[in-house]
Amino acid sequence: MCAWGKDIGIDLGTASVLVYVKGKGVVLNEPSVVAIDKNTGKLLKVGADAQAMLGRTPGNIVAIRPLREGVISDYDMTERMLKEFMRKVSGGSYFFKPRIIICVPSGITEVEERAVVDAGIQAGARRVYLIEEPVAAAIGAGIDIALPDGHMVVDIGGGTSDIAVISLSGVVESASIKVAGDQFNEAVVKYMRRKHNVLVGERTAEQMKIEIGCVYPQEEDASIDVKGRCLVTGLPKTITVHSSEMLEAFEEPVERILEAIHSVLERTPPELVGDISNNGIVMTGGGSLVDGFDRLIEARTGIHTVVAEDAISCVAEGTGKSLDSLNSMTDGTVNLSRRRQMN
């Protein structure tokens, strides 16, 4: 049986796309990058192959990320990318069009929402349902969202950070800010330029974030050798960067995420704040894997904080689990603010 007739869950992220097929689990996890030939408009590569081209392309080839800050910035490319990923998942066999659930940030506008639905339909879906990221993240982290019990989820992705308090299958209070993994990378680039007079690329910044990035003082100071272009001489230069410097570089974006968490807690009804204090805060998304993030939030809020087991695929897993209830989906679970099911 091919995957094409089955229901599919898609975590359409700024940094990567994860596809969950009912009965199989997460079958695809690729970067949200497409490479096209500018002269012919031909799609050359999608996903990991296209990411390897970022910042390394000749004049006629351009590697782009069609999603920015959690929403579609290049509609045509997003549609083509989705189509390509769905073809990979289905093995190229088109029997029945699937029903698809796509994750969207909680602060999405109606226009952005419509663009996601249209892209899904154009890519070959029979029906498109939307689910908000923090809800999917909570389901994926194993939280029973149907109970009258407050849970707080902090989902730090590539383009957006979504913070939500969930109870009775609905979002009680939430905030979605455009500060996440991408902004951490930008902060590293700015810091290297300001402090060391060296220009590093986005991929190098990403590597530094993963290997030595931290947001809470560490006992041992890790270091990494970084290659970049010296802004004084214009020549290649290698320097050693320490994790304590990353702490300084990440200060501003991290502070903004902490402020958002604080503001959501301030607006949350007291009964639910009591529940959150008992249940703790659950962190999901790739950004939550930056060293010490859970310890920092715990130190600032006084609430026990844990990073979900499989933080990166949490949202996709949650989207997949919600496929089981597609037929009976109530206003609470899909499109919490307003139920939409578009043909």
Architecture of domain 141-178+260-312: 2-Layer Sandwich (3.30)
Half-sphere exposure of 207 (CA within 13 A, CB side): 12
Q: What is the pTM of this model?
A: 0.85
pLDDT in tens, the chain (343 residues): 344 457 889 988 888 899 988 888 889 899 898 999 888 888 888 988 888 887 777 888 888 888 888 788 888 888 888 888 888 887 766 567 888 899 888 878 888 888 889 888 888 888 888 888 889 999 999 888 888 899 999 999 888 899 999 998 888 999 989 999 899 999 999 999 999 999 998 889 999 999 999 999 888 888 899 999 999 999 999 999 998 899 999 999 999 999 999 999 999 999 999 999 999 999 999 889 999 999 999 999 999 999 998 888 888 888 888 887 766 553 333 444 444 333 3
Where are the domains positioned within the chain? 3-135+316-325, 141-178+260-312, 181-249
Residues 320 and 24: their CA atoms lie apart, in Å, by: 10
Residues 268 and 174: their CA atoms lie apart, in Å, by: 9
Q: The tokens 């194993």 sit on which residue?
A: 142
Residues 80 and 46: their CA atoms lie apart, in Å, by: 9
Residues 332 and 308: their CA atoms lie apart, in Å, by: 23
Architecture of domain 181-249: Alpha-Beta Complex (3.90)
Domains 3-135+316-325 and 141-178+260-312 share a fold: yes
- How much is the pLDDT for 95? 63
Residues 195 and 14: their CA atoms lie apart, in Å, by: 28
Q: What are the strands, taking DSSP E only, across 147-186?
A: 151-156, 161-167, 170-177
- How much is the pLDDT for 263? 94
What letter would DSSP give residue 70?
T
For 3-135+316-325, CATH number out of 1.10.3720.10, 3.30.420.40, 3.90.480.20, 3.50.50.60 equals 3.30.420.40
- How much is the pLDDT for 159? 86
